[in-house]
Chain A
Amino acid sequence: MKSIRVALAGNPNVGKTSILNHLAGTNLKVGNWPGVTVEKREGKVKFWDYEINLVDLPGVYTLEPISEDEWVAYNYITQEKPDLILNIIETPNMERDLLLTVELLEYEIPLIIVLNMTDEARKLGIEVNDRWLSELLGVRVLRTNGRTGEGVKVLLPNIVEVFNLKEKPKALRYSKELEDILEKVREREDETKAELIRKLLNSEKFRELRESIKSLMGREVQDVIRDERYAKAHGLYREVVERKPLTARDITDSLDKVLLHPIFGIPIFFLLMFLLFKFSFDFSAPLMEWVEGFVNGFIAPAISEGLSLMGVGDWVQRLFAEAFIGGVGFVLTFVPLIAVIYFLLALMEFSGYLPRVAFLMDRFMHKLGLHGKSLVPLLLGFGCNVPAIVATRALETKRDKFLVMAMIPFMSCPARLVVFSFFAVLFFKNPAVIIFSLYLLGIFVAFLTALLLRKTLYGGTLYHFVMELPPYRLPTLRLLFRVVWVYVRDFLYRAGTLIFAASVFIWLLLNLPPGVKNPSESLAGQIGKAISPIFKPLGLEDWRISTSLIPAFLAREIVLSSMGTIYTAEVEKREEPFVFLEALKGQAIGFGNALKEAVINIFKPVPTAFEVEEEGSDSLRSLIAQSISPASALAFMVFLLLYTSCLGTVAVMWREAGKGFALTFLAYSLLVGWLFGFFAYRIGSMIWNT
Chain B
Amino acid sequence: MNLEEVKPGQEVVILGLSGKEEVLEKVKAMGLRKGRRVSLLQKIGRNLLLKVDNSRIVISKDLARGIEVQ
Contacts and interface: CB of A to CB of B under 8 A. Distances in A.
Contact of B55 (A260, A366, A468): A468
Interface stretch (A92-100, A157-165, A679-687): A92-100
B27 A466 contact: yes
A95 B62 contact: no
B1 interface: no
Interface in A221-261: 226, 230, 252-253, 256, 260
Interface residues of B, number: 29
Contacts of A126: 54
Q: Which of A96, A230, A253 has the largest number of chain B CB atoms within 10 A?
A: A96
A629 B49 CA distance: 56
B31 interface: yes
Nearest to A265: B44
Interface in B48-70: 49, 53-60, 62-63
Contacts of A124: 54
A467 B48 CA distance: 11
Given A466-B30, A466-B63, A468-B57, A359 B47 contact: yes
Contacts of A359: 44, 47, 49, 58
Given A363-B44, A363-B46, A466-B23, A95 B53 contact: yes
Interface stretch (A61-69, A298-306, A496-504, A508-516): A61-69
Contacts of A252: 56
A48 interface: no
Q: Which of B22, B31, B59 has the largest number of chain A CB atoms within 10 A?
A: B31
A362 B45 contact: yes
Contact of B58 (A62, A95, A100, A468): A468
Contacts of B22: 64, 66
Interface in B8-49: 21-23, 25-31, 33, 41-47, 49
B44 A61 contact: no
A124 B53 CA distance: 11
Contacts of B30: 61, 96, 466, 468
A46 B21 CA distance: 45
Contacts of B58: 359, 465-469
Interface in A351-367: 359-360, 362-364, 366
Contacts of A467: 57-58
Contacts of B26: 61-62, 64, 66, 466
A464 interface: yes
Interface string A434-473: 0000000000000000000000000000001111111100
Contacts of A95: 31, 53
A311 interface: no
Interface in A54-91: 61-62, 64, 66
A396 B9 CA distance: 30
B42 A66 contact: no
Contacts of A466: 23, 26-27, 30, 57-60, 63
A468 B55 CA distance: 7
Contacts of B55: 92-93, 96, 468
B33 A230 contact: yes
B45 A363 contact: yes
Contacts of B25: 62, 64, 66, 226
B49 A469 contact: yes
Interface of A: 61-62, 64, 66, 92-93, 95-96, 99-100, 124, 126, 226, 230, 252-253, 256, 260, 262, 265, 359-360, 362-364, 366, 464-471
Given A62-B29, A64-B26, A64-B29, 8 more contacts: A61-B29, A66-B22, A96-B53, A96-B55, A230-B28, A464-B62, A465-B47, A466-B26
Question: Across chains A and B, which 7 residue pairs bring their CB atoms closest together, nearest first?
Answer: A363-B45, A61-B29, A465-B60, A62-B29, A469-B56, A92-B54, A96-B31
6 contacts: A62-B29, A93-B31, A126-B54, A252-B56, A359-B49, A364-B45
Interface of B: 21-23, 25-31, 33, 41-47, 49, 53-60, 62-63
